[in-house]
């Protein structure tokens, strides 16, 4: 079986952009007693994949985990549908660290307004004292667009995607 040709970075950028535009929720992975713990969350990207914003309640397990250990991963995948090969669905896995974005931060109001434009139903939760905006500062991205189409990128050059060669350890 031959491998598909490597895609140019601009096509990869467009593909991940389409994925995260169509899929509004992802799985936030935090550490609970040293083990991965997944939570379903709404997310919003900054200018690229290296910044992601979440609006989280302090009462939620995932927030309690982040307050103890800021390491985080966010997994976003195209939903499975009849007629699609579930193993070939586009998906992205991001890894980094999470910090609270305080209301005093110069970007807070801009992020809040963009978040509310995307998720207007969240307006009421901005009035609850236990909710906060979190900024996920992602370092690494792993994007799968189908069989033989896996790409890696780093936050220092978020628009440069490198084909993950079969058998190569990363």
| Contacts of 41 by beta carbon, 8 Å cutoff, 6+ apart | 25, 26, 27, 28, 54, 56, 62, 74
Digit-coded pLDDT (tens) for 89-140: 999 999 999 999 999 999 999 999 999 999 999 999 999 989 999 999 999 9
- pTM summary value: 0.91
CATH fold of 9-163 reads Pnp Oxidase; Chain A (2.30.110)
- Please report, rounded to a whole number, the percentage of residues in the chain having pLDDT higher than 70: 94
Q: What is the tens place of the pLDDT at every residue in 18-39?
A: 999 999 999 999 999 999 999 9
Q: What is the mean pLDDT of the chain?
A: 93
Q: Who has greater pLDDT, 16 or 4? A: 16
Average pLDDT for 157-164: 93
Per-residue pLDDT, 165: 76
């Amino acid at each position: 079986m031959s491998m598909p040709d490597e895609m140019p970075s601009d096509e990869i950028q467009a593909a991940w952009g389409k994925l995260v535009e169509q899929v509004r929720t992802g799985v936030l992975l935090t550490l609970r007693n040293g083990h991965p713990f997944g939570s379903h969350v709404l997310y919003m990207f900054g200018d690229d994949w290296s910044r992601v914003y979440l609006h989280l309640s302090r009462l939620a397990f995932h927030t309690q985990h982040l307050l103890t250990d800021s390491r985080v991963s966010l997994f976003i995948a195209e939903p499975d549908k009849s007629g699609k090969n579930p193993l070939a669905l586009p998906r992205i896995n991001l890894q980094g660290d999470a910090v609270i974005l305080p209301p005093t931060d110069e970007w807070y109001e801009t992020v809040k307004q963009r978040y509310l434009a995307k998720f207007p139903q969240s307006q009421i939760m901005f009035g609850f004292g236990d909710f906060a905006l979190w900024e996920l500062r992602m370092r690494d991205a792993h994007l799968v667009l189908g069989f033989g189409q896996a790409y890696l990128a780093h936050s220092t050059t978020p628009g440069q995607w490198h084909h993950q060669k079969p058998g190569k350890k990363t």
